[in-house]
Structure 1
Amino acid sequence: MSNKAVSYAGPGKVEVIDIDYPTFELKDGPGVNPANVGRKVNHGAILKVVSTNICGSDQHMVRGRTTAPEGLVLGHEITGEVVETGSDVEFVKKGDIVSVPFNIACGRCRNCKEGKTGICLNVNPDRPGSAYGYVDMGGWVGGQAEYVLVPYADWNLLVFPDRDQALEKILDLTMLSDIFPTGFHGAYTAGTKVGSTVYVAGAGPVGLAAATSAQLLGAAVVIVGDLNEERLAQARAFGCETVDVSKGDPKDQIEQILGVPEVDCAVDAVGFEARGHGAGAAKEAPATVLNSLMEITAAGGALGIPGLYVTGDPGAVDDAAKHGTLSISLGTGWAKSLSFTTGQCPVMRYHRGLMQAILHDKVSISKNVNATPIPLDQAPQGYDEFDKGAAKKYVLDPHGMVGARS
């Protein structure tokens, strides 16, 4: 059976290629750790991909800002229909419509049992934690494809309770694989609660998901900062205040909004490709957002940091940043008793609750992030437009199941 997929073809390029149809064994290929080659996956399921989204984390690789090898099949945001299950799968059934957490987790190790599914100890020989189609994550094939293998299916997959309802709300539910839980994780770990004032750095899809989540958690005011006016307009469209960081330090604009130059909670949805503020907005300065958030967060507050930081960045502005070493004012954080939460969002901690919020019409995440479905063969165009700052969340539709409902 044919299986088309989106692959990284070198800095600035992606291609739609033909790859093997999945089997219940991990085979060699670009980015696959040798220790994973031949790994049996009888606990897995093969999915017909209903929707798979282009993520800002994918863009870091496509820009050549990681050590991703050419030929790597991309895609960690996956929603699909189960078409085959391995011999060890008991509960997930053929025909189920499911959300796939971008974290690959075994459900058996100490971390998984403690709910730390973003740092599973058994799926990636390189380090704790794994994801589909991502650099240094063990080599599990990405889901920007027609079909994909998901290991530990009974543990990983979130089965939607009603097929027709799921397909009707697919543009919202597709966000459960990553950006909605990731944004929620950022807002939640920043301490957002009823009445909080919240600043979200970054108006890309994760930032908009964090802003949506802060509203869902009861924030009194949500402020979103970015350089991109189109993306800031998207944030304003669902009730956020906005800050254009190209016009100066965020704290001055925050003071104009709140009357004080600080917020209770802050979220970094930018990551390691951050740029300066004010006159320096065009220049890359990877520690800018973290240092800014420490300055504007009230003493005793917290920073949620879902924005990606890496240990290998060939395109970094200096030698230290190439290894993930940034000039962070930790003294500021210490003096203000600030708390920090970093790392992969443990999607399984949140996705069922957020599914319920979607199914019961408590939130419209697809509208807030401007979800835009496109065919799989238009992925290169989608990557290009997203890289240029389009205020859209591109949803790839390999089998036309999304477009038929949109």
Structure 2
Amino acid sequence: MSTANRGVVYKGPGEVAVESIAYPELALGNRKCEHGVILKVVTTNICGSDQHMVRGRTTAPSGLVLGHEITGLVVECGRDVEFLSPGDLVSVPFNIACGRCRSCKSGQTGICLNVNPSRPGAAYGYVDMGGWVGGQTEYVMVPYADFNLLKFPDADQAMDKIKDLTLLSDIFPTGFHGCVTAGVGPGSTVYIAGAGPVGLAAAVSAQLLGAACVIVGDMIEERLAQARSFGCETLDLTQDGDMADRIEVILGEREVDAFVDCVGFEAHACGCNHGKEAPATVLNSAMSLTRAGGQIGIPGLYVTEDPGAADEAAKQGALSMRFGLGWAKSHSFHTGQCPVMKYHRPLMQAILFGKVNIADAVNVQMITLDEAPKGYADFDGGAAKKFVIDPHGSVAA
């Protein structure tokens, strides 16, 4: 078996490169990782969260191997792995979770207490998330494999739907989680802030949950057109005009039942000021546009440190929010990483039984590993695509 390996490496603001990296070992520091597996990566996706690092908006160090959205084939198992075997095709939750701590036992796998010495929660290839090697690679090691991995019941069937199933590692559960925590249900009216891949996944999720009307707002027409392609209403946020007035035109009411923030800390002001960064603008819009007693799901990323922020407060993650309005309207806010394992099996079933076409909704674009730097550049330019890397040509074949 080949022990060569290559991966996408962050070099500095605006620069990634595909380089030779170490082949993974079943090891955690100086000890054997008997509960882990090594995967041959079948698909690995470029995420908007990766883009924050590549833009230089975090404290990510040069040399970080990127990638937390992974689907792969098991090629080697540690001694203590009982329920997986070489040849199994699996989805990897982007959350790394031990399965043993208080958080994991309560289903809060996004804030595992044992996999990151700095804070609760860990992820592959991400700044301050435990130092785990990322999966935009040819091979990667996954710990606590029996607990973490979702095995597809039929590998051939899974490969037929791999463009959809690859989205189970992050953005489909994340978008779904945003809607669930916003209280979306049958007959709901929903506003989705942001038409990037997570926003589009949230819009599909809202429909899957039975929403009556899903409105998606963004500043890029190509992305809004993608949202309209599967039945969403849209708002072009580069246009002037009060948002409540514009929502009233669609709904006959000025507020929605549920609001999902899929933008996060790099938000920009709407209307004539849309080129100006305003990190709290989506959160403030959420409180203005959500009905009294409504819920606000916030899967969009907010950081504790943003060295590229426009003001000193935002550099420390401190935002100017009109929180009193949310209090007065009895809003519920739900933040944080999606606990992927809570959702990935039922969403897999929805895909396998043809209830949702998530790859079409987010416009999956397959690329090779060597095309990853261009994928990052195109994504940063606002392309209405979800770039999925096929490092071994498995999907192409």
Q: Which band: TM-score by shorter chain? A: over 0.9
Q: Distance in 2 between matches of 1:383 and 1:257?
A: 35
Q: What does the per-residue CA deviation read over 1:260-315, in whole Å, with 9 as the maximum and x for residues that have no partner?
A: 11100000000000000111111000000000011000000000000000011110
Is residue 16 of structure 2 the alignment partner of residue 24 of structure 1? no
Counterpart contact for 1:104–1:132, Cα < 8 Å: yes
Q: Give 1:81-160 correspondences, 5 Å limit.
A: 81-160=73-152
Q: What does the per-residue CA deviation read over 1:176-202, in whole Å, with 9 as the maximum and x for residues that have no partner?
A: 000000000001110000000000000
Q: What is residue 15 of structure 2 aligned with on the other side?
A: 13
Q: Distance in 1 between matches of 2:360 and 2:337?
A: 24
Q: What is residue 330 of structure 1 aligned with on the other side?
A: 323
Aligned CA distance change for structure 1 residues 395 and 337 (closer, same or farther; 3 Å):
same
Q: What is residue 162 of structure 1 aligned with on the other side?
A: 154
Q: Distance in 2 between matches of 1:168 and 1:308?
A: 32
Q: Distance in 2 between matches of 1:39 and 1:360?
A: 42
Is residue 275 of structure 2 the alignment partner of residue 282 of structure 1? yes
Residue 130 of structure 1: how far off its partner (Å):
0.2
Structure 2 residue identity aligned to 1:15: A
| RMSD after superposition | 0.7
Residue 34 of structure 2 aligns to a residue whose secondary structure is coil
Counterpart contact for 1:225–1:250, Cα < 8 Å: no
Q: Distance in 1 between matches of 2:345 and 2:272?
A: 43
Specify which of 368, 376, 384 is matched with residue 369 of structure 2: 376
Specify which of 387, 390, 405 is matched with residue 380 of structure 2: 387
Q: Distance in 2 between matches of 1:268 and 1:20?
A: 38
TM-score by length of 1: 0.96
Q: Distance in 2 between matches of 1:38 and 1:312?
A: 31
Q: Give 1:264-283 correspondences, 5 Å limit.
A: 264-283=257-276
Specify which of 193, 203, 206 is matched with residue 201 of structure 1: 193
Structure 1 residue identity aligned to 2:88: D
Counterpart contact for 1:84–1:94, Cα < 8 Å: yes
Is residue 352 of structure 2 the alignment partner of residue 359 of structure 1? yes
Residue 46 of structure 1 aligns to a residue whose secondary structure is strand
Q: What does the per-residue CA deviation read over 1:336-380, in whole Å, with 9 as the maximum and x for residues that have no partner?
A: 000000000000000000000000000000000000000001000
Specify which of 18, 34, 37 is matched with residue 42 of structure 1: 34
Q: Distance in 1 between matches of 2:30 and 2:312?
A: 37
List, as ranges, runs of 4+ consecutive aligned residues in structure 1 with deviation greater than 6 Å. none
Residue 40 of structure 1: how far off its partner (Å):
3.5
Residue 39 of structure 1: how far off its partner (Å):
4.9
Counterpart contact for 1:261–1:296, Cα < 8 Å: yes
Q: What is residue 293 of structure 2 aligned with on the other side?
A: 300
Specify which of 158, 164, 170 is matched with residue 172 of structure 1: 164
Q: Distance in 1 between matches of 2:256 and 2:30?
A: 51
Q: What does the per-residue CA deviation read over 1:30-66, in whole Å, with 9 as the maximum and x for residues that have no partner?
A: xxxxxxx335421000000000000000000000000
Counterpart contact for 1:382–1:394, Cα < 8 Å: yes
Is residue 249 of structure 2 the alignment partner of residue 256 of structure 1? yes
Residue 250 of structure 1: how far off its partner (Å):
2.5
Counterpart contact for 1:191–1:302, Cα < 8 Å: yes
Q: What does the per-residue CA deviation read over 1:50-97, in whole Å, with 9 as the maximum and x for residues that have no partner?
A: 000000000000000000000000000000000000111111111000
Structure 1 residue identity aligned to 2:294: G
Q: Distance in 2 between matches of 1:87 and 1:139?
A: 24
Q: Distance in 1 between matches of 2:243 and 2:42?
A: 40
Q: Distance in 1 between matches of 2:215 and 2:288?
A: 15
Structure 1 residue identity aligned to 2:388: V
Is residue 342 of structure 2 the alignment partner of residue 341 of structure 1? no
Residue 320 of structure 1 aligns to a residue whose secondary structure is helix
Q: Distance in 1 between matches of 2:30 and 2:235?
A: 50
Q: What is residue 65 of structure 1 aligned with on the other side?
A: 57
Q: Which runs of 5 or more structure 2 residues have no equivalent in the other structure?
A: none
Q: What is residue 240 of structure 1 aligned with on the other side?
A: 232
Residue 263 of structure 2 aligns to a residue whose secondary structure is coil
Structure 2 residue identity aligned to 1:95: G
Is residue 316 of structure 2 the alignment partner of residue 316 of structure 1? no
Q: Distance in 2 between matches of 1:38 and 1:395?
A: 33
Structure 1 residue identity aligned to 2:320: S
Q: What does the per-residue CA deviation read over 1:304-342, in whole Å, with 9 as the maximum and x for residues that have no partner?
A: 000000011110010110111000111011000000000
Q: Percent identity?
A: 72
Q: Which runs of 5 or more structure 1 residues have no equivalent in the other structure?
A: 27-36
Q: Distance in 1 between matches of 2:382 and 2:334?
A: 27
Report the number of matched residues: 394
Q: Distance in 2 between matches of 1:291 and 1:39?
A: 48
Residue 160 of structure 1: how far off its partner (Å):
0.2
